Structure 1
């Protein structure tokens, strides 16, 4: 133990504290907070900004958009299996409220990020100060309170003395695999600059250990008994498999028992695409192989999944009247879903123990032949839609994915979050390595891809990272390309031009809304957006931000451009306009999107009739 005190400002103390935090799991020890993203304004420039200036051991990265800074931190944390993340500092007002979307994404996906927004004066020398939210009935409320519902932990540091317990609690939450998400410490701007005598112990090196809690033996026995009794079991691998590093344990359990594995968006890559037990993705964006097996399964074994409606196909997918559930999850709330036998514990530890208990048990040979045939049939479908018959033709979106599959190394990372690409990627991508497939679909946030690619590249500079972005998503949040150029962070952007919101356009058509307001086109004489495409040159826009741009008009040119981008030594974009006439694969399961109950449009009335038919199949699993 050390003794004595050190006189520092609150901001200086916090930055020094963060620079000395470490996370350890299985003997691997890493920095908990790898650095701090920031955009400075009057609410943090004299506090956190000044503290970062004189604390180089906590590296600073200059952001262009506050939401994007959070996305970059989250992308980094995901690639590091949640063992390390970044802090993000902003001024008060719009800088702080811009954090809300990123915070929601982090919390929904159980990924750690530390938010340090500036706040109003604690001493209130001149109310209202610039950008202060002035509520006559609640003088202690600021815009930062908008972060409360999207944060796993929130505190406002009104006095210097409050920092020590709050900083420790913030680190506890950030490193807790059950509780982790966005953590917010709101910092009044006068308090940031206020000096205090801090105990030296506050700045000592500290290690936060991430344990692997084992499940209760009784729940393991009940789960093993239920698995042995099942004739058609199916494992659903969620993001918790990756967070736990349980891919090998999952593969061994599947090999021992012969139980097939389907994956959620977050769980993709839990098994290699060519593993004999691998069926691919499941749910509304899933493969025919996974969804067909799921419909007939009498037991679903969920591992690290929270059962979103896309995964469960809005509770219509698991159609067997006798279907039951076993859930392996470190979070009790998720383990108890679907009236399951809950097995609460670390995924890797639990799967290892289950494999031991199920030694000698194997599903019937005819079941194996059935699901292998389904997987083989789907592989033929993938080959058919991703391989262009003529390399001189304009690619469809599936062929863009096929070209990537041909060019990328198995360690390269593919990042996406929104639009029509997540569905195509989930169906068609052949994951060769656990962290190769990086699709954020818990919040499906447009604009995530580019900053997340920066975060992923920072997490592992030796891996090539490809951000797949449609034109709609690109226009939402391209600004961190400037950061990539400034910092020399080599990312690859694949910019797919399809002139609008392709995903929502397709959904709009299905619900009878006739793709209204989803195309990037001029208005026609009736006021609809069905005129000529907008003359927007996105490639020129990318180039104006300092990124090299390669054009690809054909499938052959696309492959060559992707190879060139991968070999480049600076941020590079591949711009490709896809052929909208090349249809996407239809959904293999139903998703509950309500349709207008009454309408003057025949398209809507027809969609409503189909909706009501599907709705009859929806059920709670009790």
Structure 2
């Protein structure tokens, strides 16, 4: 068989096995493959997929996409929703087809999410040289476009001889299924090698299981962590995405209930506790709640569980102000467990570590004053969000009220999706989540254009769950601003082609609201962030005349059902009704887009926190001078080394 035929059959027979407590789960590692064909893969992987479609279409189902980057986003979103038990492979042509995957590779690796990228490459034999779209480098003729994947991938290999396929896939899947190392795995496939014939051992094509490792904590580490917790007066848990990937949310709830230690969560950790849990302070850091940030400032011990401590989480290292602060970090990845000069790094599975730590702390509970403080700050923030959701501006409404209306119209099991712009910060603060799968915001790379493609990947995972009887179906609601929509909305066509019911709430505010607000706070007066006609005399886009674009009609032209909500006094009620109408549509009816306009100048409630973005140290603009004074004051509170 050819290299490509062996590749496809091999991928179709790979499974992950995962044990959570007494339950064991087994599922296909690759439920399918995305691909856009061109020279490089049309006669290789494309031929192999077609051949299997004719003989056994269940082995490796092929799915179309409209952009290679969007295909990788679908795969990553699928992986996150399945808690890294499954993902998709993505095949591309050479040249621009391959380089379109670079952003997807960076996103996957930054988020620690598995995706298998199979970019085609130029001829290994150089028989036809240079070929169309080949990159020629005079100082290194073996360099191709695909070498750009090396720093973006957790594993990279190039199969220049057919026999190399065996080890390349073995090493690649080892990394792909490793919770501590996972990310983008890129295997570069020269187009001539894909079509070459080789003898393939039967054992290579047999079914294989890849066990997801769940390492136990060291007893000494647990004992030391428990001692620090007992000695602390004001401990605080920061829960990240690692809690969810370890299926540890129930153990975290039991731990908080037993000890009384409050919990703040990162973007990836939203859903670790229901929003109304008495121990949940909600989001922490630059886009956090005042409740979580107030207790973080006073904490003398931070217990980080499954977090990589992004700068938003630590408010650029200003969130923690106790001079004697210590860290206990529980993480499956050593790079995160040792961050911030941790006093006790626990390199282990989050669920197993929480079980061991709760047993070690039998009889322990925080002082009553901390529980009272937790309840007071939580009540204050909940009232703040209630007021924001109740805002009624006209004719243009606030994004706060839009979020509240959508949140209220969705069921607890439904999933909200977002990635970039002002929405992620506002959702992190205010979105009320009851289900651990209910919140999916890509914020490690915060990639504009991820939203619709990512939502499609999540919906695929939800439909697969329902088909297996593993869970009831979920509606997936993408919330996206006009900026991100314009970056990449083409996968709506994919949803139309497959009849996938994906609900999109498109918020039109005629600009980049998030960066506009940031620009204003830095003294740059929202420069270059509005969608306006060009004043050629001043070469400015800062006028009041908005562009005559109609994104609702754009979506309709792609075959999407569109619900338009016009500005006025009843926008919020109409929006809630539109979401309910979209949810009532039957599965298989295709995508639905709800178009609503908002006022970008109405801010979300303050986090009473900070994010470090440098301000010009000298400037002639008075606005920049004032911004620098504010920046310097915040900078004085920054701690270069924590722990």
TM-score for both structures, normalised by structure 1: 0.98
Query: Are 1:424 and 2:426 counterparts?
Result: yes
SS at match of 2:630: helix
TM-superposed CA distance for 1:54, in Å, is 1.5
TM-superposed CA distance for 1:389, in Å, is 4.8
Query: Are 1:375 and 2:378 counterparts?
Result: yes
Q: What residue in structure 1 maps to residue 503 of structure 2?
A: 492
Counterpart contact for 1:394–1:555, Cα < 8 Å = no
- Flag structure 1 segments of 5+ consecutive residues without an equivalent: 1-7
The Cα offsets for residues 229-271 of structure 1, whole Å up to 9 and x where unpaired, read as 1110000000100111100010111111000000000000100
Q: What residue in structure 1 maps to residue 466 of structure 2?
A: none
TM-superposed CA distance for 1:394, in Å, is 4.0
Counterpart contact for 1:388–1:555, Cα < 8 Å = no
The Cα offsets for residues 563-608 of structure 1, whole Å up to 9 and x where unpaired, read as 1111123210000001335332234211110011111100011111
**1:527 counterpart (536, 539, 545):** 539
Deviates more, 1:550-559 or 1:345-354: 550-559
Counterpart contact for 2:287–2:428, Cα < 8 Å = yes
Distance across 2 between alignment mates of 1:52 and 1:387: 53
Q: What residue in structure 2 maps to residue 345 of structure 1?
A: 348
TM-superposed CA distance for 1:88, in Å, is 0.3
Distance across 1 between alignment mates of 2:382 and 2:101: 41
TM-score for both structures, normalised by structure 2: 0.94
Aligned residues between the structures: 614
The Cα offsets for residues 251-307 of structure 1, whole Å up to 9 and x where unpaired, read as 111111000000000000100011110000000000000000000000000000010
Q: What residue in structure 2 maps to residue 151 of structure 1?
A: 153
Counterpart contact for 1:259–1:363, Cα < 8 Å = yes
SS at match of 1:310: coil
SS at match of 2:312: helix
The Cα offsets for residues 145-179 of structure 1, whole Å up to 9 and x where unpaired, read as 01111100000000010000111111111100011
TM-superposed CA distance for 1:140, in Å, is 1.1
Q: What residue in structure 2 maps to residue 604 of structure 1?
A: 624
Q: What residue in structure 2 maps to residue 12 of structure 1?
A: 5
TM-superposed CA distance for 1:422, in Å, is 0.6
**1:30 counterpart (27, 42, 50):** 27
SS at match of 2:352: helix
Distance across 1 between alignment mates of 2:617 and 2:584: 54
Counterpart contact for 2:82–2:461, Cα < 8 Å = yes
Counterpart contact for 2:109–2:184, Cα < 8 Å = yes
Equivalence map 1:32-51=2 (5 Å): 32-51=29-48
The Cα offsets for residues 310-360 of structure 1, whole Å up to 9 and x where unpaired, read as 000010110111111000000011000011110010000001111111111
Equivalence map 1:207-226=2 (5 Å): 207-226=209-228
Q: What residue in structure 1 maps to residue 484 of structure 2?
A: 473
Distance across 2 between alignment mates of 1:251 and 1:610: 39
**1:173 counterpart (163, 172, 175):** 175
Equivalence map 1:23-102=2 (5 Å): 23-26=16-19, 27-55=24-52, 56=57, 57-102=59-104
**1:575 counterpart (589, 595, 598):** 595
Q: What residue in structure 2 maps to residue 560 of structure 1?
A: 577
Equivalence map 1:244-263=2 (5 Å): 244-263=246-265
Distance across 2 between alignment mates of 1:580 and 1:138: 49
The Cα offsets for residues 427-482 of structure 1, whole Å up to 9 and x where unpaired, read as 11011100101000000000001011110001012210011110000000011000
TM-superposed CA distance for 1:34, in Å, is 1.2
Q: What residue in structure 2 maps to residue 3 of structure 1?
A: none
Query: Are 1:21 and 2:27 counterparts?
Result: no
Distance across 2 between alignment mates of 1:279 and 1:586: 15
Counterpart contact for 1:285–1:588, Cα < 8 Å = no
TM-superposed CA distance for 1:393, in Å, is 5.6
Q: What residue in structure 2 maps to residue 544 of structure 1?
A: 557
Distance across 2 between alignment mates of 1:140 and 1:364: 64
**1:314 counterpart (313, 316, 320):** 316
Distance across 2 between alignment mates of 1:133 and 1:94: 11
SS at match of 1:617: coil
SS at match of 1:430: coil
Distance across 2 between alignment mates of 1:566 and 1:577: 21
Counterpart contact for 2:179–2:213, Cα < 8 Å = no
Q: What residue in structure 2 maps to residue 301 of structure 1?
A: 303
Q: What residue in structure 1 maps to residue 413 of structure 2?
A: 411
- Flag structure 2 segments of 5+ consecutive residues without an equivalent: 464-472
Distance across 2 between alignment mates of 1:9 and 1:289: 60
The Cα offsets for residues 503-526 of structure 1, whole Å up to 9 and x where unpaired, read as 000000011111000000113453
